[in-house]
Amino acid sequence: MLNDLKSALAALEAHQPGSLLGLRETQWLDAKSGPYELANPKAVEELTKDVAAFANGGGGVIVIGIATRLQHAEEVLDHVVGLDPAAVNVDQIRKLIRQRITPAPRGVRVGWSGADDQRVLFIGIPAQAAGTLFVVPAPVGKPGSSRPDTVAVPMRDGDSTHWLPRAEIQQLLSAGIRASGMPTAQALTELVRQAVSEAGPGSGLRVGQGLPDREREMRTAYEELADAGLGQPTGEAWAQGAAALQDLRHEVDGEPGWVLCLVAGRPPAAVAAPVWQAIVEAGRRAPGGQDPLAAVGFPRPPEDTDMPWVIPANALSVDLDGGSWGAGRLTCSGRGVWRWQPLPRFSLNQGRSAENWTAGQTPALRLRAVVNLPWAEASMLEVSKARRTLLEQQLPQSAVAGAVTMLSRRRGADLPAAGWGLGPFGNSARSVGYTCTIAGPDGGPAVKASVMLALPTTLESTVVACADVLIENPTAWAAVLGPGWDTQLGLDEVQAVLLAAWETAAELLPDVVGNPAGLSWAAPPTTELRMTCEQPADNGVLPVLDTLVDLTPLGPNDGGPRSQMSVTITTAPAIVRTERQHLLREALVHMARQFGYVDAEVDLL
């Protein structure tokens, strides 16, 4: 049941605008059947009035493309009309909001929801800082520039928007003057002085205004970046964590503006507005209402510079750091689509899905790759019959099948992993599971390969893909191989199997739900690599890995024997094979050192 702003925005972000039907317009919700006709000055005034009213009223969302009906004297969202994206200039909407509302409200999201002829546009205005009043130029309703010497205050009242009466504006001004402790004339003079001090001609704001503790620092940075063509501020500066930020016009009319960005410990940056918007959009899908910048962080300069730097509008990539997602890179495709991916890093943190699909199994050795895919649009995905059929056809030629075949062929036996059937963990529109078994002489399993994928559930918020290779019974495997062959795996074989499992889970399995390249992240994707002994001896104790895997290339172990080791890699799932090989080797060394093999080196693997 949608009953507040947060749940309505979540539905729109999930591309489910139909979920809003039946809601009534209220303090936080407004619906319009058609777009703002921005060629009409009255429509521009209406847009900025509506947005500023929600900013003054605790936040809200404007949904464009849904018609309403009158019911019991209230407007109720009735049906989706849909909009043609080609007929709506989203960039112009964002620009008008920044330029016409003072100060520019923070965190406004202008985006599309739904698909095909059910697509709607929404403008989400989050709650703003307490004590801030948002104003617009007084409406004139005719072409021409808005008058800089007028002010109007829009307010949201229930399901309607109205102008704050002149008497109430006068009372607010009087209250501010009384709080200053100065005579009226002196107080007004001081306000005017602060508004125009150190500002350029025609400007009502100064660089750093709004952050008195950092104003001098911001002005110095502004002067150092003057060659970029920075214009005058379009709103007050604001703080976001350790960063000080301010929107600026461009010196040249018609060119995109800038965001002046100062982060403690880094040189200041001037970020072109389109790139800044892409940064904000990259973190927009972070769960729990997290601020986008708190998720993705701020631009990180090249390692070889400590001077103020510029990120122009035609930039194709920008590194980000300082957010909860960790270091990442935002890259623009040739079609102008920006996508965030994490920069590689390693840890021992294992997610909730690390031991999925292990119930009832006790293999002697499991080599596993689990890929966690926290796609923002995961609720819309499903496993189609056509894609499941394609996966069935691809599995005998998959990387993980090749790895299983390799293990036998290196021991003189031709045991291809060609026969794949449905696995034991269920198949549906939200899950897949397939297994290939190489049987021993008695018909029992000797070696297995399994692949699984599950869409989100109430307990798991991410898409999880997994590929396993299991040495079920070393004795049975040795019997089917023939006499004289050792079933202990070499570390090079472990690397080959984990690489193949990772490649299968990261690139082959996700295709069963569509095109992963078109999905955005709600958190960083991770891959967990595991080696585990799970078949207890007669005394109930699990054997140590050394008995099933030759770990001598890692050197001596100062941490004692272990029955399992694991490592987590935070990186993009789809990468070239050479990079995956390189990351795998580095991850195994990181894991080995953390588990007591302190002398482990990449060149020893």
Q: Which CATH number do you get for residue 147?
A: 3.30.950
Least confident of 168-172, 241-245, 364-368, 577-581: 168-172
Cis peptide preceding 103, ω within 30 of 0: yes
> What are the backbone angles phi and psi of residue 211, rounded to the nearest 5°?
-130, 75
Work out the mean pLDDT of the chain and round it to a whole number: 88
Asked if residue 351 and residue 339 are part of one domain, the reply reads: no
180 assigned to some structural domain: no
499 assigned to some structural domain: yes
183 assigned to some structural domain: no
Give residue 265's identity as a one-letter amino acid code.
G
Q: What is the 3-state secondary structure (H, E, C) of 504-549?
A: HHHHHHHHHHCCHHHCCECCCCEEEEEEECCCCCCCCCCCCHHHCE
Domain that holds residue 285: 197-343
8 Å CB contact between 205 and 218: no
Asked if residue 117 and residue 72 are part of one domain, the reply reads: yes
Using alpha carbons, select from 106, 90, 524 the residue that is nearest to residue 297: 524
The arithmetic mean of pLDDT across residues 341-365, rounded, is 93
Asked if residue 111 and residue 52 are part of one domain, the reply reads: yes
The number of angstroms, rounded, from the C-alpha of 386 to the middle of its chain's C-alpha atoms is: 29
Asked if residue 536 and residue 504 are part of one domain, the reply reads: yes
Asked if residue 131 and residue 18 are part of one domain, the reply reads: yes
169 assigned to some structural domain: no
Q: How distant, in Å, are the alpha carbons of 10, 46, 476, 554, 564 from that of 546?
A: 49, 72, 19, 11, 10
173 assigned to some structural domain: no
Asked if residue 319 and residue 358 are part of one domain, the reply reads: no
184 assigned to some structural domain: no
Using alpha carbons, select from 465, 461, 467 the residue that is nearest to residue 383: 465
Number of folded domains that form the chain: 3
8 Å CB contact between 81 and 67: yes
pLDDT at 124: 94
Asked which of 294, 328, 343 is the last residue of a domain, the reply is: 343
Asked if residue 359 and residue 329 are part of one domain, the reply reads: no
Asked if residue 60 and residue 44 are part of one domain, the reply reads: yes
List the alpha helices (DSSP H) in 283-357. Answer: 292-296
188 assigned to some structural domain: no
Asked which of 142, 164, 186 is the last residue of a domain, the reply is: 164
Proportion of the chain above pLDDT 70, given as a percent? 93
178 assigned to some structural domain: no
Asked if residue 560 and residue 431 are part of one domain, the reply reads: yes
8 Å CB contact between 35 and 89: no
Using alpha carbons, select from 135, 140, 47 the residue that is nearest to residue 88: 47
Using alpha carbons, select from 101, 107, 154 the residue that is nearest to residue 126: 107
Asked if residue 296 and residue 443 are part of one domain, the reply reads: no
pLDDT reading at 604 higher than 80: no
- Quote the pTM value: 0.73
Distance CA 431, CA 437 (A): 20
pLDDT at 602: 84
Proportion of the chain above pLDDT 90, given as a percent? 57
Dihedral over Cα of 310, 313, 314, 319: its sign: positive
Comparing 170 with 413, which gets the higher pLDDT? 413
**Per-residue model confidence as pLDDT tens digits over 540-583:** 889 899 999 999 999 888 878 889 999 999 999 999 999 999 99
Asked which of 290, 313, 343 is the last residue of a domain, the reply is: 343
Terminal-residue alpha carbon distance, the chain: 55
Asked if residue 351 and residue 338 are part of one domain, the reply reads: no
pLDDT at 198: 37
Asked if residue 453 and residue 328 are part of one domain, the reply reads: no
**Look-up: residue for tokens 């970046």?**
225
